[in-house]
């Protein structure tokens, strides 16, 4: 996919993208950045590209976490990797019928509006198909960075509608049109 302008903002999924995925994590002490994330965020910030987080946190709806637990983990993420310009969090469960839970575009629309940007100015980067689907449905460019939990069909689907990169740094370099690492793209 070519012909994209450099983004004015990049929205990241949280778990499995910015930080290691600890299912239903409510403990800030367990927050660990994913490889190459710090490098990627530094590059974006040097270039004046705004950053944000769009994250499903269904553990709240399931009674496994409180909103306070989610906020504490988000604060830790901000302390380690931020500050982020916008956070958009969906605490609904899969059957709640909201419009914000990825793969629906509500979270991405909310974050984009808060940034005062149009979807075509924004890139969404995530580790699973619902991240890419939400970005594409919102009208954004999207990049999938697979992890061991990413299903093969999610990668195949992403290749059809978005882009795929091997690392977060490679994804950021791809959307900025620069090549600084040896991380590949597909």
Please give the domain boundaries of the chain with CATH numbers for all domains. Answer: 10-176 (3.40.50.1000)
Average predicted confidence (pLDDT) for the chain: 93
Q: Is 69 a catalytic residue?
A: no
Q: Return the SS3 of 117.
A: coil
pLDDT at 41: 98
Compute the distance between CA of residue 58 and CA of residue 24 in angstroms, rounded to an integer: 8
How confident is residue 186, by pLDDT bands cut at 50, 70 and 90?
very low
Digit-coded pLDDT (tens) for 128-176: 999 999 999 999 999 999 999 999 999 998 888 899 999 999 999 999 9
pLDDT at 103 over 50: yes
Sign of CA pseudo-dihedral 99, 131, 180, 2: negative
Q: What is the pLDDT of residue 3?
A: 59
The pLDDT > 90 percentage for the chain reads 89
- Are the C-beta atoms of residues 92 and 58 closer than 8 Å to each other? yes
Tens of pLDDT, residue by residue over 166-176, are 999 999 999 99
Sheet holding 163-164, edge to edge: 86-90, 50-56, 9-12, 122-126, 141-144, 163-164
Tens digits of residue pLDDT in 3-54: 577 899 999 999 999 999 999 999 999 999 999 999 999 999 999 999 999 9
Q: Is 157 a catalytic residue?
A: no
- Predicted local distance difference test score (pLDDT) of residue 4: 73
Residue 82 structure tokens: 């931020």
Query: Which one, of 52, 73, 24, lies nearest residue 125 by Cα?
Result: 52
Across 50-60, average pLDDT = 97
Q: Tokens 């958009």 sit at which residue?
A: 88
Inter-residue contact 77 to 14 (CB < 8 Å): yes
Reported confidence tier of residue 178, pLDDT bands at 50, 70, 90: confident
* Six token digits for residue 154: 């999610």
Residue 1 predicted with pLDDT over 50: no
């Amino acid at each position: 996919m070519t012909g994209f302008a450099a983004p004015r903002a990049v929205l990241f999924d949280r778990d499995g993208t910015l930080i290691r995925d600890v299912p239903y994590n409510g403990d800030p002490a367990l927050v660990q950045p994913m490889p190459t994330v710090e490098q990627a965020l530094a590059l974006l910030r040097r270039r004046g590209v705004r950053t944000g987080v769009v994250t499903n946190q269904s553990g709240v709806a399931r009674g496994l976490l409180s909103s306070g637990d989610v906020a504490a983990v988000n604060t830790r993420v901000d302390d380690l990797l931020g500050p982020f310009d916008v956070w958009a969090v969906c605490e609904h469960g899969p059957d709640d019928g909201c419009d914000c839970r990825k793969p629906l575009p509500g979270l991405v629309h909310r974050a984009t509006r808060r940034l005062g940007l149009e979807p075509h100015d924004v890139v969404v980067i995530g580790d699973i198909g619902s991240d890419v689907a939400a970005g594409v449905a919102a009208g954004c460019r999207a990049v999938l960075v697979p992890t061991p939990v990413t299903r093969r069909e999610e990668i195949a689907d992403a290749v059809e509608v978005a882009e795929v990169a091997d690392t977060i740094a490679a994804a950021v370099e791809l959307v900025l049109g620069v090549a600084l690492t040896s991380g590949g793209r597909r």
